[in-house]
Chains A and B, each alone.
Chain A
Amino acid sequence: MSEDIIYSAIIDEHYEEPRNFGKIENPDENIMETNPTCGDTIAMYLKLGDGKIRDIKYVANGCLISVASASILSERVKGKDVDYVLNMNKKDILSYLGLELGPAREKCALLSYDALIKMLKNYKEENSGQ
């Protein structure tokens, strides 16, 4: 096995150069999520409008998989309809990573997704009366 590729070319590349990394000032939604098994954290920020994710940023502190999956997720959902993203499921997310993961590592991969879904649900609730 190659010592150079750790997980997969996609994951390694996103870890080295994570997309949309950082913070949004005055976000419409933000959240801090933690993985209890390892203490990985992600702070995620959203700008929302017209039912779309206008901007997404995050500050992740974690393993390759959790950082890379946040990066891949952010690329996939930026500019998309909130409802479209809410209809994505965990399987979709895992398929973007192109990796077979055991149940413990799935949690790392889904930390950013869980954070995103919580914010979007919250956004929908807050805006449902309007």
Chain B
Amino acid sequence: MFNPEEIKSHFPIFRRFEREGIIYLDNAATTQKPSEVIEAIVSYYENSNSNVHRGVYRIGEEATDLYNKSRENIASFIGGKPEGTIFVRNATEGLNLAASSLSRMIGKDGEVIVSRMEHHSNIVPWQIASQNTGIRLKMMESNVESHLKWEDVEKYLTDKTKIVSITHASNILGTINDLREMGKNLHDRGIIFIVDAAQSVPHMPVNVSDLDCDLMAFSGHKMLGPSGIGVLYGKPELLEEMPPYMGGGEMIKEVFEDHFIPADIPEKFEAGTPNIEGAIGLSAAVDFLKKLGMENVRAHEKDLISYTLRREEELNMPALRSYGPRNPEIRGGIYTFNIKKDSKDGRPFGNEVHPHDISHMADRIEGVELRSGHHCAMPQTVSLGVYATARASYYIYNTREDVDHLFNAIEKIGRRMIR
């Protein structure tokens, strides 16, 4: 039985706020950390700290063993192979690695396609790569109310398209894109398929073989793990072919005065001493999620978003405007909204209560912590016809009661601001 209250008791941060109350709804930005994760990191430092892949002494071997086992555990969580599981800082670094390395591989006539739904981390690295290598970047239109499917992608392909990189789930709209046929269809045309899974791996079962993607990036801190650790998963055959990203220690086999021979994967892409405690912490987070079951995590969030959409309809507040698909089957636990407001005397303050003010007031009035801004997805935000939005995003410790508090806050803010 999935019990958010019991789950919550594993998170020390909620004990701190037991009296005053805190309803943390910014999980798409980062999640809280359970004791199990914190203790794994502390235990590593208290018992086994040393560098990996170097010392042949006792704790050196122990640290290397913990690090390797963490990689195996995380790889199996996404149905992948350990040698394809590259530790990076976060999804952003994973996508930068992909863009930098692949743009050098595909040649300057190559075309990369991303969608308008993307987080900046799946746009800007390609723009930089385009400046550096001359590759062309194209952005697909996407519909706010529905998800991306193969037909939507297909019409953008040309014979120059070498890479399609799209998000599995939108961090603003909550849209879960339909990637089922994408891999096979793209591979039939010799196109590399990349998935930004920062908003999917933490929230639903994700399997790289089922997705049939070539590369996939996600962040540890959005799935109970510490910050500073993430994964770029790649098909080993592709990773072997790709040129290295950063140079330094750990990523080489041999170095000569004028050249180097890179290490085998995954170390080839892991220059420098890695984030050892991060890998161990993320592995503990994966254990926590495995115990809950990712099917159950998804079912819980689907319940919360269904309940949210129902509460919104019941509230029936004309000024409240939310975005994203209404069908919970293709919608994650993300609720992004604005509160409309007529500007007085033609003063151009925008036609919405500013999301920063929504966020500030929600915290003061109801203890509800929301994100406000463009959520690092300006093309998507601008396409909604606004500068910024307020966003609630759910996770395993949130409840329907939290959603009630959210709507209490929205109602009160509406009363105060629209008059």
Contact = CB atoms under 8 A, between A and B. Distances in A.
Would you call the interface of chain A mostly helix, strand, loop, or mixed? loop
B387 A63 contact: no
A39 B356 contact: no
A3 B356 contact: no
Given A3-B416, A61-B349, A67-B349, A38 B356 contact: yes
A14 to B, nearest CB: 12
Contacts of B415: 3
B7 to A, nearest CB: 28
Contacts of B364: 1, 6
B387 A40 contact: yes
Interface in A42-66: 59-65
Nearest to A22: B347
A38 B365 contact: no
A60 B347 CA distance: 9
Contact of A1 (B350, B365, B378, B388): B365
Interface in A1-38: 1, 3-4, 6-7, 18, 21, 37-38
Contact of A6 (B348, B381, B388, B416): B416
Would you call the interface of chain B mostly helix, strand, loop, or mixed? helix
B372 interface: yes
B354 A63 contact: yes
Contacts of A41: 387
Given A1-B364, A61-B348, A108 B374 contact: no
Given A3-B416, A38-B387, A40-B387, A63 B356 contact: yes
Contacts of A80: none
A3 B366 CA distance: 10
B210 interface: no
A124 interface: no
A105 B364 CA distance: 15
Contacts of A1: 364-365
Interface string B371-400: 011100010010000011000000000000
Given A21-B347, A38-B388, A65 B361 contact: no
A18 B361 CA distance: 21
Nearest to A6: B361
Contacts of B39: none
B295 to A, nearest CB: 36
Contacts of A18: 347
A62 B347 contact: no
Contacts of B388: 38-39
A3 to B, nearest CB: 6
A118 to B, nearest CB: 21
Contact of A4 (B354, B374, B416): B416
Interface of A: 1, 3-4, 6-7, 18, 21, 37-41, 59-65, 67, 105, 108
